[in-house]
Amino acid sequence: MSGGGGKTALYALAYGVLGFGAGFVFGALREMVLIPRFGDELGRYIEFPLMIAALFVIALLLQRRLLLGSGALILAGIGGTVVLIVIESAFALFVMGQTTGEYLSSFDISQGALFPLGLLLMALMPWAVGKRS
C-alpha cells in the first residue's frame, strides 16, 4: 500500500516531533550523565547509537500503523527530518539562547559533530524500516 499524501504528511510530522522528543531525552542524558562521567567526546559517541535506535523504533511503530510504500517512506523521512530541524533550530536559538554560530557549529563534522550524520540516518530510517517489512 503506497499511502496517500495525508498519511505521508502525518508520518513526517509525527516522526519529526517524536524524533525531537527522543533527542531531547537523550540530550539531557548526555549532558547530565554521560559527559560528566565519560567526557564530552565519548559521551556523545555513547548517546549517538541510542538515538539512532530510538529513531528505528519510532519509524517501525509509525510504519506498522500507517503502512506506507517505499516512495512515501522516503518523503516521510525527509519531511520528518525537516520538521526536526525546524523544531531543533527554534529550540536552540529561542529557548536555549544559542547564537546562530553556536548552533551551526553543531553541524561541523570536522569538529566531530555527529548531528549531520544523525540527520542523514533519520531521513533514511523510514525507508530502511519499510524495506525490512
- Give tens-digit pLDDT for 74-124: 999 999 999 999 999 999 999 999 999 998 888 887 777 898 999 999 999
d(C-alpha 121, C-alpha 36), whole Å: 27
Whether 1 shows a pLDDT value over 70: the answer reads no
Where in the sequence is the domain holding 26, given as residue range(s)? Answer: 5-132
| Number of domains the chain is built from | 1
pTM: 0.91
DSSP string, 84-109: HHHHHHHIIIIIS---HHHHHHTT-G
Q: Burial-class residue 130 by CB neighbours within 10 Å (0-12, 13-18, 19+).
A: buried
pLDDT of residue 107: 82
Cell output for 116? 549531520
- Model confidence pLDDT, tens digit, residues 51-77: 999 999 999 999 999 999 999 999 999
Find the range with the poorest average confidence among 40-44, 118-122, 123-127: 40-44
